Amino acid sequence: MDNAACEKLYDAYYMRVFSYAMTMAKDRHLAEEIAQETFFRAFSKLKDFRGESDTATWLCAIAKNLYSDEKRRQGRFSEMPEDAVSREAGVEQAVAERDESFRVHMALHGLEEPFREVFELRVFGELSFQQIGRIFSKTENWARVTYHRARMKLRERMENV
């Protein structure tokens, strides 16, 4: 593949892959590394890509595998950085946002798989149900049902956090 084609693929999908990696890693540096490594591997394996899935789905699957490898290597999950709240917000708003963000992350952290990952892929990764189903090697309907159940479980947990 020539450089122009690689650059076009990178420009078209980088933010999507980075956003997906960010939802998993919750660490900007690690998400950037995962996104970069995803494209490196994708470019080196592009000739093997059969086109049976959407390009974004294929790239997110690579990112998911890289994150899983990193998680196994570290032996633990990364925590959300303390400075995740926008520094430009007023003090009161920043405190309120941090508290609400913490409540959401606490509730999300308590969700069992695959509910948590499906919810994050849909909300933060902005993937379609069809793409989510492909990542899990399931149907689009499975992704819809799992997302709905995740929302219900999250709503229940938010009331208790």
Query: Which tens digit of pLDDT belongs to each residue from 47-97?
Result: 677 667 788 888 888 999 999 888 888 765 444 444 444 444 455 555 555
The answer to whether the pTM exceeds 0.75 is no
Residues of the chain with CATH 1.10.1740.10: 1-79
Residues of the chain with CATH 1.10.10.10: 90-161
- pLDDT tens digits along 43-61: 887 767 766 778 888 888 8
DSSP 115: H
> How wide is the angle at C-alpha 99 spanned by C-alphas 26 and 79, nearest 5°?
25
CATH 1.10.10.10 fits 90-161, yes or no: yes
Q: What are phi and psi of 20, to 5 degrees?
A: -65, -45
Q: At what angle do helices 140-160 and 91-110 cross, to 10 degrees?
A: 120
Q: Evaluate the CA torsion angle 121, 127, 133, 136 in order and state its sign.
A: negative
Would you state the CATH architecture of domain 1-79? Orthogonal Bundle (1.10)
